[in-house]
Chain A
Amino acid sequence: MSELHLIWRNLVRRKLRFALTLFAIFIAFLIFGVLGGVRTALQSGVDLMADNRLVTVNKINFTQPLPISYLNKVRAIDGVQVASHSGWFGAYVRDSRNVIVAFAIEPESYLQVYGDEIRLDPAQREAFLRNRQGMIAGEALAKAQGWKLGDRIPVQSNIFSRSDGSTTWEMVVEGIFRGKEESSDTRRMYFHYDYLNESRAIGKDFTGIIVFNTVNPARNETIARQIDALFANSFYETQTDTAKAFNKAFIAQLGNIAMIITSVVSAAFFTILLIVGNTMMLAIRERTTEIAVMKTLGFRSERIFRMVLAESMFLSLLGGLLGIAAALMAVAGLHKALAGVLPDLSLGPAVIAQALAIMLALGLVTGLLPAFAAMRLNIVTALGRN
């Protein structure tokens, strides 16, 4: 028998209690791992964006429109390399629950701005540019919807209607594009702004956002200030920022993800701290006589302290490692399922290192008090209680 065996036997002496405590820790670290992966994925998506890409949106909110006339004014600014625009269409196909991410764009310029991220066969590109009713769909979207080249798709909008009252725009799949990387999000489609603009009843000559590349990232700030100054005091004031900042702001619209994750994880860990701490205190309390006997046999107080602390550390590490292992599997599964939404979803070494640190801290915090109580236990008093 080793000391480890003794620690283990003490730990599992009440199997149900052990299993439930272990399960609580397991769940906490599973949540931590998965949410940590999501947080990393959200952050890395922003990080991958080009540094010289800027976005101009309505100063009130990016959901408010901008006049299309702004595009040429932006193009005229010195240092703007290529500019385009896109507008949210609010698309669905057949069933209003079958929502499609669709943008009305100026095709040629847009494909220039996003040339690296929207990878399209040259022939398909040409066909798309030629056909005003044409659209291009991402591989993932086309696969999910069962679209093939040449298919005619009745795309409906939950925002716009045509002059004749209908909400359907028939479009032809002229191209199916890939993303920059295998895992890039391709669950979206693009179609001609002109096709929408000429027939819609409301919102004519307005777009959503203007997106452009600058000649040099060092000039981003100056150019952004110049654009916003240009439209200052107009009915449609603008706010220009880098695409990275825009995306961060977009994510912030959904809520402060980092804060939500931190809050959820903190609440989970605080609860676990109370559960494990209480369990350890109870476990030591009911072993008062045994600890006194061990001391009587000659086990030194420091050794008892170490053994009790090792017990809580072991519990925390076991539950935590199982939780992180489950999180790794869950994230691997989610990575496939959410490839379009969170292409960079993964459980990185930084999250695992954080988890390990929390496991050690949890074991330490929950074990210190009972270990100290066990160390201080007076043999005569404890045996006298028996």
Chain B
Amino acid sequence: MTKLFELHDVAKRFQRGKESITIFDGLSLGIEEGDFVAIMGPSGSGKTTLLNLLGGVDQPSAGEIRFAGSRIDSLSETGLAAWRAANVGFIFQFYNLMPMLSAERNVELPLLLTSLSRARRRQSVEAALKLVGLEDRARHLPKELSGGQQQRVAIARAVVSDPKLLLCDEPTGDLDRATADEILKMLSLLNNEFGKTIVMVTHDPEAAKYAKRVLHLDKGRFAGEELAA
């Protein structure tokens, strides 16, 4: 397998007033293409910050981040926006759908950043909604959908532009066990059948079982790694 992500000696520091807070210092990590990585750890361990760095929504204070061999840590804000649009699908804990748009419009949103025709966009949206089993709910507003259905719409939105990487921040944190399992099975499917590389931050050991690899983060350092049985 080829490396999709490579982090070398990454540091992340914040300035809070006069105090300098270090989240990571000298963090290194490799993620291979097609991997499904779960990142676990206590609150404040740096899980979400790591996810933000991998997603290009935040930049390291030091070190290198390479995606498919190219450095993304030195990209401008505009460059990062274009990179995210082309390569990353995001799934959030609270779904973060646009409340005034129907499910199909929400899924179509990332395609506004492409040069696809209206007809092609429609095809892609239909395919994505079908993949998550919500083709009959296409015209519904988020408030008319259950939490699990909203998260499935969010997954459809994340995959509609066919990115290589899916970043999931506590994707089942707001769902009951049964619905959470449905969502996790869907992520597994996307990983196994569609070859999506998935990095998932979670507190939930049950959710982590769906991953191929579990990384434990504590105080900005990797404290251990488990491989799926």
Contacts and interface: CB of A to CB of B under 8 A. Distances in A.
B113 A298 contact: yes
Given A10-B100, A289-B96, A297 B58 contact: no
Interface in B70-96: 77-78, 81-86, 90, 92, 94, 96
Interface in A256-308: 289-290, 293-302
Interface stretch (B36-44, B104-112, B186-194, B214-222): B104-112
Contact of B81 (A2, A293, A300, A380): A300
B179 interface: no
A1 B113 CA distance: 12
Nearest to A3: B112
8 contacts: A12-B100, A293-B90, A293-B96, A296-B55, A298-B83, A301-B77, A379-B57, A383-B57
Contact of B85 (A12, A13, A290, A298): A298
B98 interface: yes
B28 interface: no
B108 A297 contact: no
A13 B108 contact: no
Contacts of B121: 1
B52 A380 contact: yes
Interface of B: 52, 55, 57-58, 77-78, 81-86, 90, 92, 94, 96, 98-101, 105, 108-110, 112-113, 121, 157
A297 B57 contact: no
A1 B55 contact: no
What 9 pairs across the A-B complex have the smallest Cβ distances?
Answer: A298-B85, A13-B100, A9-B100, A379-B57, A298-B84, A293-B96, A300-B81, A298-B113, A297-B110
Contacts of B113: 297-299
Interface string A1-32: 11101100110110000000000000000000
Contacts of A10: 100
Contact of B82 (A5, A298, A301): A298
A9 B108 CA distance: 14
Nearest to B93: A386
B84 A13 contact: no
Interface residues of A, number: 25
Nearest to B84: A298
B55 A9 contact: no
B90 A297 contact: yes
Interface string A348-373: 00000000000000000000000000
A301 B82 CA distance: 11
A297 B98 CA distance: 12
Interface string A313-345: 000000000000000000000000000000000
Given A1-B112, A10-B100, A290-B98, A296 B90 contact: yes
B79 to A, nearest CB: 10
A294 B90 contact: no
Contacts of B108: 1
Nearest to B80: A298
B76 to A, nearest CB: 10
Contacts of B52: 379-380
A1 B52 CA distance: 29
Contacts of B98: 9, 290, 293
Contacts of A297: 84-85, 90, 109-110, 113, 157
Contacts of A9: 98, 100-101, 105
B58 to A, nearest CB: 5
A301 B80 CA distance: 11
A156 to B, nearest CB: 68
B90 A386 contact: no
Nearest to B94: A386
A298 B110 contact: yes
Nearest to A294: B109
A77 B5 CA distance: 102
A317 B173 CA distance: 44
A300 B78 contact: yes
Contact of B58 (A6, A13, A294, A380): A380
B175 to A, nearest CB: 17
